[in-house]
Amino acid sequence: MTLSSDRVRLTVPTRSDTAAITEGCQDPAVVRWTTVPTPYTEREAQTFVDALVGPGWASDREYTWGIRRAGSDWLVGVVSFRTEHRDLGFWLAPSARGTGVMHEAVELVVGWAFSQGAPDVYWECYEGNVGSASVARAAGFSFTGTGTARIPARDGGPTVAWTGLRRADGTPASELPWPPASFPDGAEGQPAAAVVR
C-alpha cells in the first residue's frame, strides 16, 4: 500500500531497501532513541523486512512503511502504526531531517489510521527526545504527560517517556503544555525518532 503527498511517498520496505535501512540505523540518534539492534548489519535489515514488516502487514499487527522523498526510490526512514495500542514508531536518516519529510509521513499514516476506524493515535518517545516530540507536536498531538514507556529501554528495563495522543474527532486529549525545555530554537531540525523496535 502506498501513501503519498507532494513531497513524500510511503511504500512497504522490501529487501531492496536493505542498504538504506542498514545505513540509517548506524546513526547515533537512531541508536540512542530507539531499540534497533546494535551493531546493525545488513542481516538485521533483512530480518526486519522478512520477520517484522511482512508478517506485521499479514497479521494486522503492525503496518510499516518506508519513507521516500517524492521522485526518489531511496528509503530515508521508516514509520509504523501498531494496532494493539494504536501507536506510532518512526526514525529518519540525518540527510532528511529538517525538511518536513517526517511530519508529512506522520500526517499520512495518522490520516490512514483514522480512515481505518482508529478513534485516536498514541505517540511516545523516550524522555528528552526533542526531535520526536517536535514532530508529534507539529502533527497535532496533545501532550499527555510523562510516565513509564510502554516499550522498555534497550536493556529491557523500565524507562521514562513523553506521551501524546491525537484524536480522530480533533478534540484535544489534554490541556497539558508540552515540556518547555524540550523546544529550543531549531528543534524542528533535530533528530526525529520515536520509540521503535
User: Long-range contacts of range 112-117, CB-CB < 8 Å, 24 or more positions apart?
Assistant: 112/3, 112/81, 113/81, 113/86, 114/168
Residue 151 clears pLDDT 70, i.e. is over it: yes
Largest Cα separation within the chain, whole Å, is: 44
At residue 191, the pLDDT reads 45
b/e map of 102-114 (b: 16 or more CB within 10 Å)? Answer: bbbbbbbbbebbb
**pLDDT by residue (tens digit) across 19-75?**
999 999 999 999 999 999 999 999 999 999 999 999 999 999 999 999 999 999 999
The tens digit of pLDDT for each residue in 81-123 reads 999 999 999 999 999 999 999 999 999 999 999 999 999 999 9
Helices 130-138 & 101-115, crossing angle to 10 degrees? 50
> What residue spans define the domains of the chain?
3-189
pLDDT band at 179 (very low <50, low <70, confident <90, very high): confident
Q: What percent of the chain has pLDDT over 90?
A: 87
Best CATH choice for the domain 3-189 from the list 3.20.20.120, 3.40.630.30, 3.40.50.620, 1.20.81.30? 3.40.630.30
pLDDT at site 171: 97
What integer pLDDT is reported at residue 180 of this predicted model?
Answer: 73
Q: Which of 105, 33, 43 is nearest to 69 (CA)?
A: 105
- pTM across the whole model: 0.91
Position 89 scores a pLDDT of 95
The residue-averaged pLDDT of 147-163 equals 93
